[in-house]
Structure 1
Amino acid sequence: MPFVYNGLPSRVIFGSGTLSRLADEVRELGCRRAIVLATPQQATQGRKVLEQLGELGAGLFAEARMHTPVEITDRAMRQVEALGADCTVAIGGGSTIGLGKAISLRADLPQVAIPTTYAGSEMTPILGETQDGLKTTQRTLRVLPETVIYDVDLTLGLPTAMSGTSGINAIAHAVEALYARDRNPIVSLMAEEGIAALARSLPVIAHDPENATARSDALYGAWLCGVCLGSVGMALHHKLCHTLGGSFDLPHAETHTIVLPHAVAYNAAAAPEAMSHIARALGASDAADGLFDLACAVGAPLALADIGLKEADIVRATEIATANPYWNPREIEADGIRRLLENACAGRRPESTTRTDS
């Protein structure tokens, strides 16, 4: 079978205690003045990273926010310029790593990403930014981090609730890679392996959050899922989540977790081979049910209404999601998307939707 596979040019350091290599990795990039990025909640961790950098640390910007608002990036750029920073070191999840990407797009600075969640943004050349209530995405190698340091020790303290939703967010990348228009057998191998690693580790973490083996397995799975996201296009699920996050300010990982089983149910009949791979990786008989049951097993929220979406928002969300849809294996139908969102808003078990196209 002919296919095209593009390997992404990132350097990955994986293991326990690997944060100790940070200064050497900054030097390897030829940099001497690193600005450390973090969210306000991870400012203490950011300061520790700055201390670890020693003379290579130029300063800390701890104002990263979810969905990468343009105004936050503008503020960060002013500090980058004031400090004379020549690279960024982002520690945290998708919010912080997204800010590093936005800075790199504007200033062309090398990036070191240190993920502390399972979001996967560190492995992608994709940047999503929010301005005036709308989230837009672009794909360019300019925003791909040059170096990624995966340190399992940094995930041991990740709260169990965040671990579960972050991990299922990662699974979403692999799920859509399996039915992507530009899918290929190499990425499909990574996708199934990534889903399986997270599916077996997340329930363990929910009950034993300091289980180092499960944490390592989850971080490994998240890495593979992130590669999938960076290597092929995404579809309906990601469009819906970008709409809900950017326009209704819903939390990123929780939104992905709730929407995923419903998006998979919507696409099930149009992508049977992908559904078989997903179900096998989950150890389930049905892909959508297996994803819903995994969310239940890790104690994740199941209803968009519980994380801020109002029933009155569904019509507007449907309009935005269908106005400029991503490619999808099944035709995007407004009535079907509205039903999908209604089910996700109410927290119902996913249902197979009936095609209206002939």
Structure 2
Amino acid sequence: MEVLRDLGVEEDVIAQATPQHLMGNTVFCTAVAGEELGRLRSWGNEPLVQAAHELASPTRMCDMPQHLMEPVLVNAAIARGSQLRFDTEYVSHEQDADGVTATVRDRLRGDRYTIRAKYLIGAEARADGCVAVGGGSVTGLAKAVALRTGLPIVAVPTTYAGSEMTPVWGLTEGAVKRTGRDPKVLPRSVVYDPLLTLTMTPVGSATSGMNAIAHAVEALYAPASTPIVSLMAQEGVRALAAALPEIVADPSGHTARSRALYGAWLCGACLGATTMGLHHKLCHVLGGTFDLPHAETHAVVLPHVLAFNAPAVPEALAALRRALDVPDPVRELHELGERLGIPRSLADLGLTAADVDRAVDVALGAPYANPRPASADDLRAVLHTAWAGEPPYGG
């Protein structure tokens, strides 16, 4: 929009476009009526970052279809003296010291003629891969594209989601989130740069980091866990738990953000090397069925599921005691969220009390690995405590 303002057409666009507050999801399809590859919340509409976007620019984003945008740009170009030719095919060109002579063909008449210009600019789309710059949702969309096309991914994370280190994909269809594993969705290369995370708000950084910690916690008691994975998970939790309070206190600090990316890398790699259990299952249900925000949901649910599984995972608890340097990891993870100032209940995220029973039914509809069997009553108790934001421990 700032570019359109500089071009003098901002008002023309605003007059015809959908304003930002009415924009929902940005949908990526193979064609207008083709297969949907994925969707993201429209840029700038995430509640935790909307204020930051509004403060960063004098303009407001909007949504304008191509068939409306092109006439605005064409009319502006003509008003500035440009000549436009439609139904015209490029054939060849010759360049000299003063400019370019291009040969083109009129597709309607079939005849060829030349055009003299100072410059010749061309573009051709033959994608060799997909570069995903952004958080977990962006990486997830790139994985959906790779799953269908086989295009390799280069991931440049700007959050601590950790998805860039896993072969796990997720697709939500009909209010149900499906997940799976496929080596072709694992990014070929990952570029970590702490400077790219500086635009995350303190709360956004904290929820993203807690999301990554959840990956490592569940990897500690996953059926496919190994001693190496356990060490990586322990180190990832330690790094993030230490870095996140520093980031909240000073969002511009590079050192803490570097340590957080290090922790996120370890936690994501742990998730990629193991299988997901009850925690991720519940979060996928809450996100896919009720559209709750991803990282915030993980941050809220994490200590509640750990409290439920605790009697069955003494070795995982011992590793978390070492990582967090506390006698009670469940209490520490819950109180860490409070200290970071992130949402502490599913009710805060928009889940209603009536939604809990439906979430239980959906969760029971698909099998998942978990160290402690969970009945419908067990799931209801875990979700109700998380919904109310009650401490998942006694006292």
TM interval, short-chain normalised: 0.7 to 0.9
Alignment of 1:127 with 2:162, yes or no, is no
Mapped partners of 2:261, 2:292: distance in 1: 24
Q: Pick from 243, 251, 262 the counterpart of residue 201 of structure 1.
A: 243
Q: Which of the residues 359, 367, 370 maps onto 1:317?
A: 359
Tell me whether 1:327 sits opposite 2:362 in the alignment: no
Deviates more, 1:160-169 or 1:289-298: 289-298
Question: 2:37 is matched with which residue?
Answer: 73
Give how far 1:71 is off.
6.0
Query: How far 1:276 moved relative to its partner?
Result: 1.4
For residue 158 of structure 1, report the CA deviation from its aligned partner.
Answer: 1.2
Question: Structure 1 residue 174 and structure 2 residue 138: aligned?
Answer: no
User: Cα deviations across residues 43-78 of structure 1 (Å, max 9, x unaligned)?
Assistant: xxxxxxxxxxxxxxxxxxx9479xxxx9651699xx
For the residue of structure 2 that corresponds to 1:206, the secondary structure is: helix
CA offsets 1:180-200 (integer angstroms, 9 cap, x no match): 011101111100000000000
Instruction: Quote how far apart the aligned CAs of 1:127 are.
Output: 0.1
Deviation at 1:174, TM superposition (A): 0.3
Structure with greater contact order relative to length (CA < 8 Å, sep ≥ 6) = 1
Paired amino acid for 2:315: E
- TM-score, scaled to structure 1: 0.76
Query: 1:111–1:146: 8 Å Cα contact kept in structure 2?
Result: yes
1:83 aligned to which of 111, 125, 139? 125
Cα pair distance change 1:325/1:289, threshold 3 Å: farther
Q: Which amino acid aligns with 2:174?
A: D
Deviant stretches of 4+, over 2 Å: 62-65
Question: Match of 1:128, SS?
Answer: strand
Pairs within 5 Å for 1:282-293:
282-293=324-335
Task: Rate the CA distance shift 1:136–1:293 in 2: closer, same or farther, 3 A.
Answer: same
Q: Deviations over 1:269-308 (max 9, x none)?
A: 0001101111221222112111101111111100100111
Is 1:267–2:267 an aligned residue pair? no
CA distance change for structure 1 residues 228 and 329 in 2, over 3 Å: closer, same or farther? same
- Whether 1:149 and 2:200 are equivalent positions in the alignment is no
Q: For structure 2, which runs of at least 5 residues remain unmatched after alignment?
A: 2-24, 29-33, 41-123
1:109-152 Cα distance to aligned partner (Å, 9 max, x none): 11110000000000000001001110000101011000100011
Structure 2 distance, partners of 1:328, 1:64, is 34
Partners of 2:330 and 2:306 lie apart in 1 by 6
Look up the match of 2:79: none
Rounded to whole Å, the distance in 1 between the matches of 2:38 and 2:214 is 30
The correspondence of residues 287-306 of structure 1 with structure 2, limited to 5 A, is 287-306=329-348
Which of 281, 293, 305 is the aligned partner of 1:251?
293
Residue of structure 1 in register with 2:90 after alignment: none
Q: What's 2:271 paired with?
A: 229
What is the total number of aligned residue pairs between the two structures? 283
Task: Name the Cα RMSD after superposition.
Answer: 2.0
Query: Partners of 2:163 and 2:204 in 1: how far apart?
Result: 16
Give yes or no for contact 2:147–2:185 (8 Å, CA) kept in 1: yes
Instruction: Give distance in 2, aligned partners of 1:163 and 1:125.
Output: 23
Query: Which structure features the higher share of helix residues?
Result: 1
Structure 1: 5+ residue stretches without partners: 1-39, 41-61, 77-81, 353-358
Percent identity for Structure 1 against Structure 2: 55
CA distance in 2, matches of 1:319, 1:308: 19
Distance 1:75 1:336, change over 3 A: closer
**TM-score, normalized by length of structure 2?**
0.69
Q: Residue 354 of structure 2: SS of its match in structure 1? A: helix
SS for the counterpart of 2:180 is strand
Are 2:149 and 1:107 equivalent residues in the alignment? yes
Which residue among 120, 133, 138 is the counterpart of 1:96?
138
**Does the Cα contact within 8 Å between 1:64 and 1:95 map onto a contact in 2?**
no
Alignment of 1:338 with 2:380, yes or no, is yes
